[in-house]
Amino acid sequence: EVQLVESGGDVVQPGGSLRLSCVASTFTFSNYWMNWVRQAPGKGLEWVANIKRDGSEKYYVDSVKGRFTISRDNAKNSLYLQMNSLRVEDTAVYYCVSFDVGWGQGTQVVVSS
């Protein structure tokens, strides 16, 4: 079974920064585009960003452009999300996702003063 394990979520003040990490196992990580998807409390799912297999292409939802950066390290089977200038509306559970193979358990990010 696919394993994607996120970490790095925390409570942070508006304007602060966090770095989320995701470690993949049981599948060939480097073969897949990877994504971050978030879910605000009581809300639906929102795609945040994705990155091509070799890291050469990245796409972001407009609301995070210029503030979030997605990256990956295929040698470590790891996906990252650097989150800067955090806003209250970024509060959500963040999931590490391959739309081809599976989802992680999520990591909670709370932005609050």
- Binding residues for other proteins, rule: CB under 8 A, are 1-2, 35, 37, 44-47, 50, 59-61, 93, 95, 99-106
Alpha-carbon gap, residue 97 to 50, rounded angstroms: 9
In whole angstroms, the minimum distance from the beta carbon of 107 to other proteins comes to: 10
Phi, psi (deg, nearest 5) at residue 32:
-125, 140
Beta pairing partners, 102:
98
16 or 102, CB closer to other proteins?
102
- CA 90 to mean position of chain CA atoms: 12
Contact 52, 33 (CB under 8 A): yes
16 or 71, CB closer to other proteins?
71
88 or 99, CB closer to other proteins?
99
2 or 11, CB closer to other proteins?
2
Residue partners of 12: CB distance under 8 A and separation at least 6: 18, 86, 109, 110, 111
- CA 27 to mean position of chain CA atoms: 18
